[in-house]
Structure 1
Amino acid sequence: MPLKVCLDLSPIVHQKAGLASYARELTTQLVVMEPGVSWVAFHYDRYPPTPLPSPLDALPRRVVPWGAYRWRLTTALRHFLGLSMDGFFQGVDLFHATEHLLPRLSSVRTVFTLHDLIFLFYPETHKPLNRWFLTLMMPRFLRAADAVIAVSECTKRDAVRAYGIPEEKITVIYEGVSPRFRPASPEAIQAVRAKYRLPERFILYVGTIEPRKNLTALLEAYAALQSRNTQHAARLVIVGKKGWLYGGFFRRLRELGLEERVHFTGYVPDGDLPAIYSAADLFVFPSLYEGFGLPVLEAMACGVPVVCSNTSSLPEVAGDAALLADPTDIRALVAAMERALTDEALRASLRARGLERARQFTWEEAAKRTVEVYHQVLGP
């Protein structure tokens, strides 16, 4: 009988930003690349807000009809009480947890993807209930899993240091860049410029509006940049929906008087992102902490110069293809942004190095190495 693998696609149907991108791109590649495997889709919530995309929508499904809170609480209680949840996954050989929740399984082998430990290092950037759940359950999930996939060496080091997880249990598998992220045509750029009312020149940020993204520092740096060159300074465009604990960001936006200089698009479908990246003069990603930092590579793949933080996984991901700056040092951010906007030789070099860097990260390779982890867990 063919191997039966259950993939947790909950991040996709619940639009969980970076987790959704990871789950969608990786599992799509797995399904296409390994047709001999019997793939099964799993998600919680009987009526999720977002349908699964093709080809994932054609997979047989296991669905827990509960919402997020009940599913999380049930999983936590089952772990504490030592009660198996195998009944949800009968006939499955392996379950892959693509987000930070692992059912307690006894007869089903498990692989757990660890994206980051932000809640541990920057607890103030998480809602209290989410922080409590992850603090309580993350070490249990990591120990219970048969194998752990970390999306960067940084994330692996964090897990080993924080929880004493054996290094040999964790395999680092980088995320990839979808082929659709490439320099867009002038026609595509013109179309998104009109659709989202984008300014002629702009600095771009893509991601959720939440504390760890350090967007208040980006506002401070942008305001300082404006004061240096008010005649030709580019506008600031923020692409992404509101996440949580974003009140301080909008308060600082008003205090700096930037309401007319900062343009918000809200949520943007993935299909429009390559042209928006391509239209930008500069991409800035000032996060305090990232488990991987996929938008950096997406911007590079579209030929945009990048400035990003010199913390956590970002130096590992960006290599020498971006200007790195301390995200807590506004002067350093301003200096890096100004150089990347005004030094034409540097801009050309960053574009070339960025395109080459992005080509090194593919979902095909990520899927291939993920299947190797499955086989290691299941044995011969």
Structure 2
Amino acid sequence: MKIGIDARMYGARQTGIGNYIRHLTENLFKIDRENQYFVFLLKPEFSRYRILSPQVKKIKVRARWYTLSEQLIFASVLNRYNLDLMHFPHFNAPFLYRGKYVLTVHDITQKYFPGASFWRKQAYQFIFSHNIKAARRVIAVSRFTKNDILNNFSCEAKKIKVIYEGVDSRFKPGNKDEALIRLRQKYPLNKPFILYVGVMREHKNVVGLVSAFNLFLKKYRLDYQLVLVGNFDPRYTEIQTKIDRLKLNKKVVQPGFVSFDELLLFYQAAEVLVLPSFREGFGFTPLEAISCGTPVAASNTTSLPEILGKAACYFDPYDIKNMAETIYKILEDRNLQDVLVCRGQKMIKNFSWTKCASATLKLYQEAAALK
């Protein structure tokens, strides 16, 4: 069987989806010795991508995601290869592609947080609705995401398969003091710190976290820093505006996008990871923190309770006071920290890239057999 994989978003800088493509393909190519794979990549990742199996061929394309060329040129490129099945790891399959395909849906956040553009919202609704119907099978990364699709779009439940993602095995506990020493050589970290890792967009509620951090400092009179790891997004300036207004510039450290090695150190050195999102389809970062032995405070909404179970403390992301109280509760209770870490180490075994790849391969076989 000839299987295509849209890897245009491959790479760490595309965060969740990029890492999904990387780990899924690596594990697929280890367990599947029968099928032939065609991996479609953009520059510069095309040059960096290492082929680990003779069954894999990489193809360079010049059609970025969310563009007109994606809808026209990319569809034309795919049609040349006469694939038995194509896997699009995001909702943005080209409208004009008529081959059989599997679609992975990580979330439908753009329906709820479409940004300022009216046309972008309309385009998302049109493309998503069409692709959900056209796909032979749909992978949802959580039960929440599956139900979210069913509640908002026309799709048969039997068409959607929940396949949990995995956690990179390189995330593991380390020496906190050594991690801090290494980080302090580059960043102005002089206090214990609360950590956030992720994109800086509206649905992530980083503005709410900054407000909760400010309340935490004033109410409990504890001396902490807040570290926000992730690329600054020029479309969302509210975070910096909030930091400036609350006069927290000396208390908030913003490293931007960091390498894997530095991210590992931040997880190992943090006192707690906080994920204050309004919406999450899965939630990589709390699982990564838990793998490193770091306690987690997370929103009590959408997929997070499903994924994290009893290995996190939860708060209402719309309630700044509740968020601050939950952070304080973890930081001031060493026994609670130990309990969360212990639960987390047991829970994390449920999330394996090998399991994810195996279930995905089985779904490929089912989808390809459909007329």
TM-score (norm 2): 0.91
Please point out which of 75, 79, 90 is paired with 2:81. Answer: 90
Assess if the C-alpha contact under 8 Å between 1:206 and 1:239 holds in 2: yes
1:150-299 alignment to 2 at 5 Å?
A: 150-185=140-175, 187-188=178-179, 190-230=181-221, 232-243=222-233, 245-299=235-289
C-alpha distance 51-265 of structure 1, shift in aligned 2 (>3 A):
farther
Question: Match of 2:329?
Answer: 339
Alpha-carbon separation, structure 2, partners of 1:193 and 1:8: 39
Alpha-carbon separation, structure 2, partners of 1:101 and 1:63: 18
- Does residue 10 in structure 1 map to residue 8 in structure 2? yes
Secondary structure of residue in 2 paired with 1:15? helix
**CA apart distance, 1:207:** 0.5
Secondary structure of residue in 2 paired with 1:12? coil
Question: Match of 1:40?
Answer: 38
Residues 265-303 of structure 1 show CA distances to partners (whole Å, capped at 9, x for unaligned) of: 111122332221011000000000011111111111110
Unaligned runs of 5+ residues in structure 2 are: none
Alpha-carbon separation, structure 1, partners of 2:190 and 2:79: 50
Unaligned runs of 5+ residues in structure 1 are: 79-83
Alpha-carbon separation, structure 1, partners of 2:288 and 2:300: 18
C-alpha distance 86-20 of structure 1, shift in aligned 2 (>3 A):
closer
Secondary structure of residue in 2 paired with 1:30? helix
Secondary structure of residue in 1 paired with 2:298? strand
- Does residue 65 in structure 1 map to residue 62 in structure 2? yes
Residues 311-337 of structure 1 show CA distances to partners (whole Å, capped at 9, x for unaligned) of: 111111110110011100011101100
Higher mean alpha-carbon deviation, 65-74 vs 110-119, is at 65-74
Alpha-carbon separation, structure 2, partners of 1:334 and 1:236: 12
Assess if the C-alpha contact under 8 Å between 1:220 and 1:330 holds in 2: yes
Letter in 1 for 2:196: Y
Question: Match of 1:81?
Answer: none
Assess if the C-alpha contact under 8 Å between 1:240 and 1:265 holds in 2: yes
Secondary structure of residue in 1 paired with 2:10? helix
Question: Match of 2:302?
Answer: 312
Secondary structure of residue in 2 paired with 1:29? helix
Root-mean-square deviation (CA, aligned residues, Å) is 2.4
1:102-117 alignment to 2 at 5 Å?
A: 102-103=93-94, 104-106=96-98, 108-117=99-108
Q: What is the total number of aligned residue pairs between the two structures?
A: 366
C-alpha distance 372-202 of structure 1, shift in aligned 2 (>3 A):
same
Assess if the C-alpha contact under 8 Å between 2:79 and 2:97 holds in 1: no
Letter in 2 for 1:322: A
